[in-house]
């Protein structure tokens, strides 16, 4: 409930740039879908930047996707997200983080 309220307050405030960290992870399925629809409707009015580990969410909502790895941002083409090379790169990065 707290995350839902924070999200709504941020949207009501109508900032030019909205920065969200894992915005839908603690929401139930119905509310998460409502929030996704709301975020889609806001895309034309403001810049929304959010972090997520859920690739399907990024594909669904984002116009551009970047990957943060070892402190560097890398633009990822949506067409490359299903490639085996990309998946291996992500798995290797996660393994490195686990051993750090």
Q: Whose structure tokens read 């307050």?
A: 9
**Which stretches within 1-100 are classed as H helix?**
2-12, 29-42, 55-61, 84-99
Break the chain down into helix, strand, coil percent, rounded to 5: 50, 20, 30
Give the start-to-end residue ranges of the domains of the chain.
Answer: 1-63, 65-100
Alpha-carbon distances, residue 75 vs 16, 45, 72 (angstroms): 23, 23, 10
pLDDT tens-digit profile, the chain (100 residues): 677 777 778 778 888 888 888 888 888 899 889 888 988 888 887 888 988 888 888 888 888 888 887 788 888 888 877 788 887 877 777 777 766 6
Q: The domain 1-63: what is its CATH number?
A: 3.40.50.300
Q: Supply the pLDDT for residue 100.
A: 61
Q: Whose structure tokens read 């894992």?
A: 22
What is the value of pTM for the model shown? 0.68
């Amino acid at each position: 409930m707290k995350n839902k309220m924070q999200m709504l307050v941020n949207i009501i405030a109508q900032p030019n740039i909205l920065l969200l960290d894992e915005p839908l992870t603690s929401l139930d399925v119905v509310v998460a879908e409502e929030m996704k629809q709301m975020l889609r409707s806001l895309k034309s009015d403001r810049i929304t930047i959010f972090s997520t580990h859920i690739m399907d969410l990024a594909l669904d909502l984002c116009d551009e996707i970047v990957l943060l790895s070892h402190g560097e941002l890398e633009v990822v083409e949506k067409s490359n997200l299903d490639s085996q090379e990309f998946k291996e790169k992500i798995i290797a990065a996660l393994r490195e983080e686990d051993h750090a």
